[in-house]
Amino acid sequence: LFRSNVVVTADAKSLAASKVILLVVPTQFVPDVLSGLKNDLPESAPVVICGKGIHVQSQKLLPEIAAEILPDHSIAVLSGPNLAPEVARGLPAAATIAAKDDETAKMIAGYLRTPAFRPYASTDVIGVALAGALKNVIALASGMVIGAGLGENAQAAIITRGMAEIARLGAAMGARPETFMSLAGIGDMMLTCHAKTSRNFSCGFALGQGQSLSDIMASRNSVTEGVTTVGPALALAEKYKIELPICAVVASVLNDEMNVGAALAQLMARPLKTE
């Protein structure tokens, strides 16, 4: 899997000699976990955020929150098309590591690289974090369309226009356009929007088949990040005056305000535009 120098721990005291810290916790717990850890982290160690989401209460991306709590640390983001079971089995995978400076991103990539895991460096922290968070919402929509039997043409349209939504918001927030064509962008989107083992796709699929969100969530013991991300995503869209029509109808389906068929019909009825 990873090199022997990558150690999994829940013991904060064992972090003192770490050269890099990878934080692997659900999005909504990141502020509390980082606040609890900050006195135990070596100041020279970059902190790598591995979650993909937007914090509901603050409506901020995870690296933004981390930078506020840990102002003396370099903050990085690890994201990409990486289904955990495949990575755990040692199957080939690639990902993006973003940090504000290229040297830090490349250093972290060097620590994580193995014959089966290839990280690429980036300095677009906001773009990588945003792409990783919002693709979960589009994966819900992709699953909904397939679950409702609306076809692969509709699914392809949802994925393509969904990426356009993410890129529009990213541009308004200062992200680079090429990030959305990277492993952290289109790569992660392709995987999450098609893989049956994707938590967000499978949740959307069940919704498309008529199951209630409460029943789906009750049957799971893992986090479906897209469900909690869509609200703050729409709040960011309002803040930056960007339209996110697919995210908006996903929110309506999750809130039981319309079914999947009506959601797609609403999208199809929107005024025609230049692509």
Residue 256, phi-psi category: left (phi > 0), alpha (psi -120 to 50), beta (remainder): left
Confidence band for 27, pLDDT divided at 50, 70 and 90: very high
| pLDDT tens per residue, range 220-258 | 988 899 999 999 999 999 999 999 999 999 999 999 999
Considering 135, 196, 241, 273, which one is annotated as catalytic? 135
| pLDDT tens per residue, range 155-203 | 999 999 999 999 999 999 999 999 999 999 999 999 999 999 999 999 9
Q: Is 135 a catalytic residue?
A: yes
| pLDDT tens per residue, range 28-74 | 999 999 999 999 999 889 999 999 999 999 999 999 999 999 999 99
Strand partners, 229: none
> What is the four-CA torsion angle of 49, 50, 52, 53, rounded to 10 degrees?
-40
Distance CA 275, CA 272 (A): 9
Number of domains in the chain: 2
The domain of 55 spans 12-125
Distance CA 10, CA 27 (A): 17
Which pTM does this prediction carry? 0.95
* Residue 93 sits in the same domain as residue 61: yes
- Asked whether residue 7 is assigned to any structural domain, the reply reads no
- Asked whether residue 1 is assigned to any structural domain, the reply reads no
Q: What is the CATH number of the domain that holds 56?
A: 3.40.50.720
- Asked whether residue 274 is assigned to any structural domain, the reply reads no
> How far, in whole angstroms, is CA 255 from its chain's centroid?
21
DSSP assignment letter at 257: S
Write out the two tokens for 175.
């992200």
